[in-house]
């Protein structure tokens, strides 16, 4: 998945994550139902999760897009 502008987002479900953000600094979005592993934030509300298999629908806002915390505009708060 890639982003070319703030109004052009393409989400491809059921895609295995091999590597997250490239050196271009653009966010990488993954759809709920995609096979993935690692830490992700909901692209809509910023809710954070750690998954090992399949990205769920966001339990907080029912959002369907997830992104790496490294490129997320949502701040990461210390625990």
Predicted confidence (pLDDT) per residue in 51-65, tens digit:
999 999 999 999 999
Would the pTM count as exceeding 0.75? no
Tell me if 31 is assigned to some domain: yes
- Closest CA relative to residue 42, chosen from 58, 55, 30: 58
Tell me if 74 is assigned to some domain: yes
> Where in the sequence is the domain holding 71, given as residue range(s)?
27-79
Q: What is the pLDDT of residue 68?
A: 82
- Closest CA relative to residue 63, chosen from 39, 38, 30, 37: 30
Domain count, the chain: 1
Which residue would you say has higher pLDDT here, 3 or 31?
Answer: 31
Confidence band of 71 (pLDDT split at 50, 70, 90) = low
pLDDT digits (tens, 9 = 90+) for 23-54: 566 777 888 988 888 899 999 999 999 999 99
């Amino acid at each position: 998945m890639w982003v070319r502008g703030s109004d052009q987002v393409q989400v491809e479900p059921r895609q295995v994550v091999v590597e997250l953000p490239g050196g271009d600094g653009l966010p990488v979005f993954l759809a709920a139902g995609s096979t993935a592993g690692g830490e992700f934030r909901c692209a809509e509300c910023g809710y954070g999760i750690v998954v090992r298999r399949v990205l769920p629908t966001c339990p907080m806002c029912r959002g369907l897009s997830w992104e790496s915390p490294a490129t997320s505009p949502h701040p990461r708060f210390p625990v």
